[in-house]
Amino acid sequence: MTELEKMRAGEVYSMFDDELDLIRAKAERLIFQFNHEPDRQTRRGYLEELGVDMHPSAHIQQPFTTCYGCHIKLGANSFINWDAVILDHGGVTIGEQVLIGPKVQIYTVNHALDATERAAGNEQAQPVVIGDRAWIGGGVIILPGVTIGKEAIVAAGAVVTRDVAPGDRVGGNPAKSLARK
C-alpha cells in the first residue's frame, strides 16, 4: 500500500513520501496562481486542475490555502469566504448551501503524539464532513474527524473538537451546544 493509499484509508503514513511531496508541490503552484488571478473563470480552472470537486454554483473566495486540494468536495450554492485554510489530507466534504465565514480553518490531519514518530513524519488523517445548509462562522477551527450536521450553526471563533448534531448551535473553545434546555 502506498503512503497516499494509507493516507486516504485513515492509516498512519509518512508525510515525507515522494509521491505526496509531488502532489503538494503541484497544489502550491496552482494555489499560488489561484490567489493571484483576477479572472473568476480562470481561478476556477486552477481549482479544477488541482482536483477540487466543486459544483458549478459553488465558490471559493481568494486567498485560499490547501495542502492537496484533490480531497475537497464542495456542494451546490456553497460559499467559502476569504482566507480559508483546508488541510484536506483525510478528505473534506461540504454539502449544499453551506456558508463558511472568513479565516475558517479545517484540519483533517494530526501528527504522531510520540516525538520520535512525529520526527519521522508519521501522521494520520480523518475526514471532516459539513452537512447541507450549515453555517460556519468566521475564525472557526474544525479538527480532524468532525462531522457537522445539516443546518447546524457554529459561532464565530469556535473550536470544534467533536461532532455537531443536525440543527444544533455551538460556540466556544471547545465548542458546546448553545441550545436552551
**Active site positions, annotated:** 111
| CA gyration radius, the chain | 16
Q: Which residue has the cell 516525538?
A: 115
**What is the Cα–Cα distance from 14 to 18, expressed in whole angstroms?**
10
Name beta bridge partners: 165.
none
Q: Is 91 left (phi over 0), alpha (psi -120 to 50) or beta?
A: left
